[in-house]
Amino acid sequence: MTSPTDAEISDHIAKAGRRAWEVPGLDPATPRREVRTVGIIGAGTMGGGIAMNFATAGIDVRIVETQQEALDRGLAVVRGNYQRSADKGRFAQDEVEARMARFDGRLAIADLADCDLVIEAVFEDMDLKKKIFTELGQVMKPGAILATNTSALDIDEIASVTGRAGDVIGLHFFSPANVMKLLEIVRAGETADDVVATCMDLAKTINKIAVLVGVCPGFVGNRILFARQKQANKLLYQGVLPWDVDAALNAFGFRMGPFQMSDLAGLDIGWSKGARTDNPIRDALCELDRRGQKTKAGFYDYDEARTPHPSSVTADIIRDITGAAPATMPQDRIIDTCIHPMINEAVKILEENKAQRPGDIDVVWLNGYGWPADKGGPMFYGDMVGAKAVLATMERLGAEDPEFAPARTLRRLAADGGKFTEIDTGGLKV
């Protein structure tokens, strides 16, 4: 393991952050589309937060829900967020009113017809999204940009129903969307150059850090997250307990480990009563109404102050399901088992040309997922530990599950001493 200096780490982070804005192949003189009014579909967790970014930047927002109550609820959350900031002295009360005055709540998608940009943030359901994008294709004015905030669905499939796929793009915000800096801009197969250029500029206007990525399940950030989550779950089958996995990742520098994060997000995402998914431990916890922090129990038990405590109920469930006796594993091995697959997945993303460059992957994880700054991002950290060490882990994990087989380029780096941060596979291709 090499130990870069603080200056080397901050230099890498600064350079990667600057380069992420560069889109090779996109003519800087590309005319931008004018964006004066933004339509948002869905005033839930994401829709409300996304809308706040625009209202804060002085842009009018028209926001659509299916029911008046949901619309009122969504707008009340927005007002509450602004009010809390004003109460803390971040801006004057007048500013709360000025921002709220930019909101216009509606109950019909057709009311968005003259918006310059529409961002869809309804439930993560392909049929629902296709229904909405079919309507957007019919009602929106020519030249409007049609964006989806989907976390992982195929944007080419969504675009295919609009009759104007060139106008369709992914704008993947992170939760809470009014706070998190990262914006994955997802270029689909037919997204027009001026739509990409306009959205990159718009990201700056709303004070985000944009990274341009391609369409693949989970895009860049979540795809790498899924790899870590799968390995964390596999560790439970070897008798390692969730709090031991989290403690190792906390020691690595993540404020939250995989199970702490699952409890915060809610274990019932993608679960319904009686469901038998590919994650039986999660299913069993949900059946007991241990659905995460919101039910005061998930992988952990929570007290009134929301402090997590290891749970004997969870430990018993895991033992019943996995049949594994409780085992201890050195923290270093837990870290390698969870982190090296993220590096391997990032390399596969670059091989598939779904990211522009290795530094962009670091920007995504530093700004969207709390990657510890002293480890520079997954690619930078890969160079700290070296490709040989990553390959050794992936050969072990790949032998258990072919999904984790070492990437071709990982083998090459290990053989010729190359660096992850210098991988050049030709950039983004759609």
Q: Are 386 and 401 in contact, with CB atoms under 8 Å apart?
A: no
57 vs 264 by CB, closer to ligand NAD: 264
256 near ligand NAD (CB under 6 A): no
**At closest approach, how far in Å is the CB of 38 from ligand NAD?**
15
Count the Cβ atoms, other than its own, within 10 Å of residue 316: 11
Burial class for 268, CB neighbours closer than 10 Å (0-12, 13-18, 19+): buried
45 near ligand NAD (CB under 6 A): yes
**At closest approach, how far in Å is the CB of 345 from ligand NAD?**
19
Specify the stretch interacting with ligand NAD by CB under 6 A; choose among 120-128, 297-305, 384-392, 399-407.
120-128
Among 12, 13, 35, 47, which residue interacts with ligand NAD (rule: CB under 6 A)? 47
Question: Residues 6 or more apart from 149 whose CB is under 8 A from it?
Answer: 46, 47, 50, 119, 120, 121, 170, 171, 172, 173
Among 37, 53, 81, 150, which residue interacts with ligand NAD (rule: CB under 6 A)? 150
124 near ligand NAD (CB under 6 A): yes
Specify the stretch interacting with ligand NAD by CB under 6 A; choose among 38-46, 311-319, 339-347, 377-385.
38-46
Specify the stretch interacting with ligand NAD by CB under 6 A; choose among 118-126, 279-287, 298-306, 314-322.
118-126
Q: CA nearest 147: which of 193, 116, 105, 178?
A: 116
* Per-residue contact flags (x/-) with ligand NAD for residues 153 to 182, judged by CB under 6 A: --------------------xxx-------
Among 23, 41, 145, 249, which residue interacts with ligand NAD (rule: CB under 6 A)? 41
Among 43, 119, 210, 318, which residue interacts with ligand NAD (rule: CB under 6 A)? 43
106 vs 411 by CB, closer to ligand NAD: 106
Residue 231's identity, in one-letter code, is Q
Specify the stretch interacting with ligand NAD by CB under 6 A; choose among 65-73, 334-342, 362-370, 420-428.
65-73
111 near ligand NAD (CB under 6 A): no
370 near ligand NAD (CB under 6 A): no
65 vs 244 by CB, closer to ligand NAD: 65
Residue nearest to ligand NAD (CB): 44
Q: Work out the angle at residue 117's Cα, subtended by the Cα atoms of residues 112 and 122, and round it to the nearest 5 degrees.
A: 70
Q: Using alpha carbons, list the distances in angstroms from residue 362 to 13, 80, 149, 201, 219.
A: 8, 33, 21, 21, 14
4 vs 266 by CB, closer to ligand NAD: 266
260 vs 409 by CB, closer to ligand NAD: 260
208 vs 340 by CB, closer to ligand NAD: 208
First to last CA, the chain: 36
Mark 357-390 as b/e (b = at least 16 C-beta within 10 Å).
Answer: bbbbbbbbbbbbbebeeebbbbbbbbbebbbebb
Count the Cβ atoms, other than its own, within 10 Å of residue 108: 11
Burial class for 93, CB neighbours closer than 10 Å (0-12, 13-18, 19+): exposed
151 near ligand NAD (CB under 6 A): yes
Among 66, 85, 134, 353, which residue interacts with ligand NAD (rule: CB under 6 A)? 66
Distance CA 294, CA 298 (A): 9
**Residues in binding contact with ligand NAD, number by CB under 6 A:** 22
In the chain, % helix, strand, coil (3-state, to 5) comes to 50, 10, 35
DSSP E strand boundaries for 274-363: 300-302, 308-310
List interacting residues with ligand NAD (CB under 6 A): 41-47, 64-66, 70, 121-124, 132, 149-151, 173-175
